[in-house]
Structures are given as C-alpha cells and as structure tokens.
Amino acid sequence: MLVHNWKRLLVLLLLLGAAVLAARSESLFGELDDLLAALQTLIIRRPGWGVVVFILFSALSAMFAFLSSAVLVPIGVYVWGATLTFVLLWVGWLLGGVTAYAIGRYLGRRVVVWLVDPDKLRRYEGRLSKQARFPVVLLFQLALPSEIPGYLLGLLRYPFWLYVAALAIAELPFAAGAVSLGKSFLRRDWTALAAVGIAGITLTAWAVTAWHRRRATVPQD
C-alpha cells in the first residue's frame, strides 16, 4: 500500500515539473492564451452553463481516478477569478464525494467495484470501521486519492454528516492549492508555482506517512 501511494506522489512531482516547464515556454503560452480567451467568450455567452459544467466536471473528478479537475482550474481562474473558482471547485468536490458515498451506501459493493479498483478497496477496508474516530477519517481523506474514501465510507455506512465534515475540511487546502497553482501558472510565476506544488505534495506525503503508521484497525469508541 505504501509503495503505491509513494508512486502517486512521484507522479504528482513529475506533473508539477511539467507545469513549471510549460509556464516558462513562450510559444506554449501564446497558444494557451488564445484558447483561454476563446473559452472565456464562450462561457460569457452561457454563464450559467459554464458554472454547471465546471461543478459537474469537478464532481466527476472526485469520483473517478481517470478524470482530473486540474485542467479546468486555470480556465476558471481566467474567467471568474480565484475566489469564485475556489468556491465552485470545492462545491464540485463535495458533490462528487457525497455522490460516491451515496453509491457505496445505497447501491453497494456490486456497483462500487465497477467504479473503483477492487484491490484498492480491499487494501483499506480492514483499516476502518463504522466507529472510526473523526480525526482518523479526516486523515484518511487527506492521504488517499479523492475517489476512494467516499465509496469505502459509504460501504461501511459511516455516519453521513461526520463524513461530510471530514470531506469538507480535507478538500479545503487542496482546493486552495489548486487555485493558487492555476493563478501562478497563468501569471507564469514558476517560482510560486513550484513552491505551492511542493507544499501540496509535502502535505499529502505527511498524510500518507501518518496514515500508514496506523498498523491496526481503528479502535472503536
């Protein structure tokens, strides 16, 4: 399990390096600016649909490993600014997490295994219970890819409002970091981009390490 998570952190580090290189490329940024301007014009014409699509895609990215909202964040910052993009991203991730929880709780394992790698579920099922303490669930949310905790905690029938609270708190720093990365990328401030990215990866690495230090199933209250 630990090796798998460290591989994920390595991938994040490589993606950050690619983003820094892209931020320093004159030719790439000229093409990107034209694309963003065209998208801004389209969204201004249909502002309601722009918000809906952004939230829905953010929600889906919190449910499926093969989707990422990272591509959307610079578009959001370019069109709406950092504050509104942060709110929309956070709401979308919450919506995706709640939907994943509902699928796990009410549709059950037969549906979940079609959406999440069964091996990943088995890796963590024995480490949590319905009686898991809130700080442990919060750490679980911080340490794992966002698509896993919702399904698993739904399967375990973990108390809904405690799950939502842990989800909301855990997603705050990542939403703020994603928006800060998007803003730094658009400004071509590659030093800020690298600093924020490394801070986010460090937070994730800490959470992964802290989670895997828990060798036994969480004690019941």
pLDDT band at 6 (very low <50, low <70, confident <90, very high): low
Q: 189 pLDDT exceeds 90? A: no
Instruction: Tell whether the model's pLDDT for residue 4 goes beyond 60.
Output: no
The pLDDT of residue 180: 93
Total-model pTM: 0.85
Quick one: which of 154, 149, 204 has its CA closest to 174?
204
Domain that residue 161 falls in: 2-212
Report the range out of 16-30, 65-79, 89-103 with the highest average pLDDT.
89-103
The answer to whether residue 52 is domain-embedded is: yes
Using one digit for the tens of pLDDT, what is the confidence trace for 9-52? 777 788 778 777 777 777 777 777 778 888 888 888 888 889 99
Between residues 47 and 73, which one has the greater pLDDT? 73
pLDDT at 58 over 50: yes
**Mean pLDDT of the region 92-109:** 94
Q: Is residue 217 part of a domain?
A: no
Residue 89, in any domain of the structure = yes
Reference 163, options 152, 172, 173; nearest CA is: 152
Structure confidence at residue 66 as a pLDDT band (50, 70, 90): low
Backbone angles phi, psi at 133, to 5 degrees: -70, 150
Specify the DSSP element, H or E, that contains 189. none
pLDDT at 219: 45
> Which range, of 107-111, 124-128, 186-190, averages the lowest pLDDT?
124-128
Assess if residue 219 is contained within a domain.
no
Is 218 part of a structural domain of the chain? Answer: no
Q: Reply yes or no on whether the pLDDT at 3 is more than 60.
A: no
Residue 10 lies in a domain: yes
Domains in the chain: how many in total? 1
Which one-letter DSSP state was computed for residue 144?
A: S
Give the least confident one: 13-22, 79-88, 154-163: 13-22
DSSP for 60-80, please give it: HHTT-TT--GGGHHHHHHHHH
Residue 167 lies in a domain: yes
Residue 161 placed within a domain? yes
Q: What DSSP assignment string belongs to 129-172?
A: -TT--HHHHHHHHHHS-THHHHHHHHHTT--HHHHHHHHHHHHH
